[in-house]
Amino acid sequence: MVAISLPDGSVREFDGPVTGLRIAEDIGPGLAKAALAVTVDGTMVDLTLPIEADAEVSILTAKDEAALELLRHDAAHVMAQAVQELYPGTQVTIGPAIENGFYYDFAREEPFTPDDLGKIEARMVEIVKRDLPIVREVWGRDRAVEYFTSIGESYKAELIESIPGTEDIKIYRQGDWLDMCRGPHLPSTGKLGVHFKLMKLAGAYWRGDSRNPMLQRIYGTAWADKKQLANYLTMLEEAEKRDHRRLGQEMDLFHLQEEAQGAVFWHPKGWTVYRALQNYIRRRLDAADYVEVNTPMMVDRSLWEKSGHWEKFREHMFISEAEEKILAMKPMNCPCHIQIFRQGIKSYRDLPLRMAEFGACHRNEASGALHGLMRVRAFVQDDAHIFCTEDQIVSETQAFCALLKSVYKDLGFDEVKVKFSDRPDVRAGSDATWDKAEAALKEATDAAGLAWTLNPGEGAFYGPKLEFVLRDAIGRDWQCGTLQVDFVLPDRLGADYVGEDGDKHRPVMLHRAILGTFERFMGILIENCAGKFPLWLAPVQAVVSTITSDADNYAQEVFQALKAKGIRATLDVRNEKINYKVREHSVAKVPVILVVGKKEAEENTVAIRRLGGNVQEVLALADALDTLQLESVPPDLRG
């Protein structure tokens, strides 16, 4: 007797082992048809797998989020079958479900072309139409290795060999095609449906290791129905429209060119936003008792040798030679900050010492890693190093987390996630020190009210770290802020202070940034607001547009008044129709258009039109000026 408890609380009894499909049939034919898999005591399994003991079972259909993952995994298998039918001799490797879709990595001499994607997709539809039953088999390891080796699937054989000897090898067969896979899978290929699309071709290293051969990866997206697929494709189009590289050009914010690969040419408008952002951060740091410094951009190699960077990151540093000395463009500010710390004698009374710098750093990133503003070779961080005692780690971390959260909120990001990276296998410092540092970081993060997830073993070799990830308007995650506890660098570069006891001690150094780099954050900001900057950041905050030349003098007066109030305004007295002007300034995403015609000039008013709206508000000039001035105050300066 097997008792099956269902999600509605009911219990059904069967006289022996029973499959999920039987249970579904028992409930109703409609459900049996829609069933894709079952969860047994919370674990997803095949619909055809016998359930031997009492269990809590729930039947999964396309409506369940978990079933979608299954569907995507099956899409990967169907794609692999299609590829092997169309291109004999191609080897399969791995093909998991991923967010929004799936991929499969193939080994094949000849590259796939974009045209091939269409052919593969058509064959996939055909395989779905064949509605091949998907049958699970359990093989012995040796048999599996032997089989895959015999048909020339050396990657699969290698995979099986790396599975622990105690585990069964599961084979899923659909028609005359089969693959080794952990499962579970759909009952038949027909259940996959045809709401998938192959998206892109890419290279990917075997087992993610750049020393291994490169395979050909095909990415696809798959959904439960037509509407979901269409929504996803629409979302991608929307994301493309707010791509910071596209908006950067359309809005005349910045450009990149090959003579300065990975370095940004900021245009007046982009630089205006950049400055507004930097000034904002500078005020926030001042308010949080940081001191700002500035240190050399090029420093002799000997300093990098002492800090350990020369040994570890030499390849990624830009080098210059002068008078038989080798200088390196600084890839980071911290060694220089320690030089300032070391000047004179520091007392415990000087700690915590929070030293900030907006210093230009250069790193020779791999050419393939460069990506618009998001990954560049020349950048400025909102960087600071907090020199403190071990006892001050908690309070400093807590204060930092609070500052970070507040900054993100001001900039329009409310969702912040934290990744906590603890001790790696290879590390410096004693276990006792690590215990202390990790506990302090955790305590402080909790106290700051931030939810964190563990990133085991991913800490820096010199200490544990926090990574702050924020989510943008269209649901993408960006890692921006960081806080790293460092016991090593102060030691290597000889930083010390005199303690209460009169002895010399090593300070702990907290490396921290909120935005990360200004370049990258500008990119994130542009994409998050789709180019429609909040008023305090907008490069042009208001444009005064005339209807006829009769209002030119008055428009000039309005324009000067705006400037006098510190508002970034432009004047548009061109002989164009107001429709034309409104459209042009709207496309340029200017937040406020002040329209003035004969009537406004006579009455000393302005008609305000805001970006995205189509209503006009007529205000007395003095009121309009006050309103706009108030609205353009940066968030940290608001009463």
Tell me: does residue 484 bind RNA (CB under 7 A).
yes
Half-sphere exposure of 279 (CA within 13 A, CB side): 12
Of the candidate residues 616, 623, 626, 638, the single one contacting RNA (CB under 7 A): 616
Active site residue 77: no
Instruction: Report the SS3 class of residue 619.
Output: strand
Tell me: does residue 302 bind RNA (CB under 7 A).
no
User: Which is closer to RNA, CB of 328 or CB of 416?
Assistant: 328
Distance between CA atoms of 229 and 196, rounded to whole angstroms? 7
Tell me: does residue 612 bind RNA (CB under 7 A).
yes
Positive or negative, the CA dihedral 431, 433, 437, 443 is positive
Tell me: does residue 354 bind RNA (CB under 7 A).
no
**Shortest spacing between CB 154 and RNA, in angstroms:** 19
Distance between CA atoms of 316 and 347, rounded to whole angstroms? 36
Alpha carbon 167 to its chain centroid, in Å, reads 36
**Shortest spacing between CB 316 and RNA, in angstroms:** 4
Calculate ∠ Cα 186-190-194, nearest 5°.
Answer: 105
- Of residues 247-266, those binding RNA (CB under 7 A): 249, 256, 258, 261-262
Please check whether residue 591 is in contact with residue 532, taking contact to mean a CB–CB distance below 8 angstroms.
yes
Binding string to RNA for residues 108 to 147, with x set by CB under 7 A, is what? ---x-xx---------------------------------
> Interacting stretch for RNA, rule CB under 7 A, among 180-188, 391-399, 446-454, 545-553?
545-553
> Interacting stretch for RNA, rule CB under 7 A, among 129-137, 222-230, 286-294, 573-581?
573-581
User: Which is closer to RNA, CB of 108 or CB of 123?
Assistant: 108
Question: Before 534, cis peptide (omega within 30)?
Answer: no
User: Which is closer to RNA, CB of 95 or CB of 372?
Assistant: 372
Active site residue 511: yes
What is the widest separation between alpha-carbon atoms in the chain? 94
Task: For residue 450, give both structure tokens.
Answer: 């931030």
Tell me: does residue 372 bind RNA (CB under 7 A).
yes
SS3 per residue for 401-449: HHHHHHHHHHCCCCCEEEEEECCCCCCCCCHHHHHHHHHHHHHHHHHCC
Task: For residue 42, give both structure tokens.
Answer: 């919370």
Of the candidate residues 85, 365, 443, 636, the single one contacting RNA (CB under 7 A): 365
Active site residue 267: no
Of the candidate residues 312, 325, 563, 638, the single one contacting RNA (CB under 7 A): 312
Please check whether residue 543 is in contact with residue 558, taking contact to mean a CB–CB distance below 8 angstroms.
no
Amino acid occupying residue 151? I
Tell me: does residue 269 bind RNA (CB under 7 A).
no
Catalytic residue among 346, 465, 520, 585: 465
User: Which is closer to RNA, CB of 187 or CB of 591?
Assistant: 591
**Shortest spacing between CB 374 and RNA, in angstroms:** 9
Catalytic residue among 179, 383, 472, 486: 383
Tell me: does residue 549 bind RNA (CB under 7 A).
yes
Exposure pattern of 416-428 as b/e (b: 16+ CB <10 Å)?
bebbbbbbeeebb
Distance between CA atoms of 530 and 134, rounded to whole angstroms? 45
DSSP per residue over 466-518, as a string? EEEEEE-TTS-EEEEEEEEEESSHHHHTT--EE-TTSSEEPPEEEEEEEEEEH
Please check whether residue 330 is in contact with residue 298, taking contact to mean a CB–CB distance below 8 angstroms.
yes
Task: For residue 619, give both structure tokens.
Answer: 């205000």
Please check whether residue 472 is in contact with residue 524, taking contact to mean a CB–CB distance below 8 angstroms.
yes
Active site residue 244: no
**Shortest spacing between CB 615 and RNA, in angstroms:** 8
Of the candidate residues 389, 406, 586, 629, the single one contacting RNA (CB under 7 A): 586
Tell me: does residue 543 bind RNA (CB under 7 A).
no
**Shortest spacing between CB 575 and RNA, in angstroms:** 4
**Shortest spacing between CB 556 and RNA, in angstroms:** 15
Active site residue 465: yes
Q: How many chain residues bind RNA (CB under 7 A)?
A: 69
Active site residue 385: yes
Q: Minimal CA–CA distance to 244: which of 413, 374, 368? A: 374
Binding string to RNA for residues 487 to 526, with x set by CB under 7 A, is what? ------------------------x---------------
Binding string to RNA for residues 196 to 235, with x set by CB under 7 A, is what? ----xxxxxx--xxx---x-xx-x----------------
Catalytic residue among 73, 244, 330, 363: 363
Tell me: does residue 383 bind RNA (CB under 7 A).
no
Tell me: does residue 579 bind RNA (CB under 7 A).
yes
Distance between CA atoms of 621 and 466, rounded to whole angstroms? 50
Binding string to RNA for residues 417 to 436, with x set by CB under 7 A, is what? --------------------
Distance between CA atoms of 333 and 493, rounded to whole angstroms? 13
Q: Minimal CA–CA distance to 160: which of 173, 175, 148? A: 148
CA distances to 337, 377, 484, 493 from 296, in Å: 10, 17, 23, 17
Tell me: does residue 580 bind RNA (CB under 7 A).
yes
Site for RNA, rule CB under 7 A: 111, 113-114, 200-205, 208-210, 214, 216-217, 219, 245, 249, 256, 258, 261-262, 309, 312-313, 316-317, 331-332, 363-372, 375, 460, 484, 511, 547-550, 575-580, 582-583, 586-587, 593, 595, 597-600, 607, 609, 611-612, 614, 616
- Catalytically active residues are 334, 363, 381, 383, 385, 465, 511
